[in-house]
Amino acid sequence: MSTSARILVVEDNLENIDLIDYLLRAHGYSPSLAVNGYDGLRLADQMEPDLVLLDIRMPGMDGYEVAIAIKARPALEHTRIVAITASAMVNERQRIDAAGFDGYIQKPIEPELFIGQLEHLLSAPRRVAQRVA
């Protein structure tokens, strides 16, 4: 798997962002990091990432709002967005899908599985979510 993929991590928990950053860098990736949805959306516009790892529950602009905003931008509509969430309840998964996410990784992140999950998601077909008016 090419480590040249542009990855954006949007996570408000500093311990989680440190772990994700460490795992990605240990496997040759150079992620960009944002600690809130507003900064994540700004960085997504600037860097046009291949993949966004996006926390669902953040103060201010939550992960759903960020995902919908990313998919509504023509330059970003093919960006893969992966939810990072502690909730895997059926209604949560339906909401993740409806917001345009391409998949999810459940918290707590399992370091020995994380890169495999990420690389599987990077190689999966991209989807274009329906635009939200």
Domain range annotation of the chain: 7-111
Structure confidence at residue 112 (pLDDT): 93
CATH number at 7-111: 3.40.50.2300
Structure confidence at residue 4 (pLDDT): 83
Model's pTM, two decimal places? 0.89
- Cα end-to-end span (Å), the chain: 36
Q: Which residues contact 1 (CB under 8 A, 6 or more apart)?
A: 119, 122, 123
* CA gap 116, 100 in Å, rounded: 22
Average pLDDT taken over every residue of the chain? 88
For tokens 């995902």, the residue is 67
Which residues are 69's β-sheet partners? none
- Angle, alpha carbons 69-10-133 (nearest 5°): 10
Residue 121 confidence class, pLDDT cut points 50, 70, 90: confident
Q: What is the mean pLDDT of residues 63-87?
A: 92
Q: Tell me: pLDDT of 126 over 80.
A: no
With beta carbons less than 8 A apart as the criterion, state whether 95 and 64 touch: yes
Structure confidence at residue 131 (pLDDT): 32
Angle between helices 111-123 and 14-26 (to 10 degrees): 70
Q: Tell me: pLDDT of 132 over 60.
A: no
Residue 1 confidence class, pLDDT cut points 50, 70, 90: very low
Q: What is the mean pLDDT of residues 3-11?
A: 92
Structure confidence at residue 88 (pLDDT): 64
Which residues are 54's β-sheet partners? 10, 83
* CA gap 58, 64 in Å, rounded: 10
State pLDDT tens for residues 77-119. Answer: 889 999 998 876 778 888 888 888 988 898 999 999 999 988 8
Length of the chain: 133
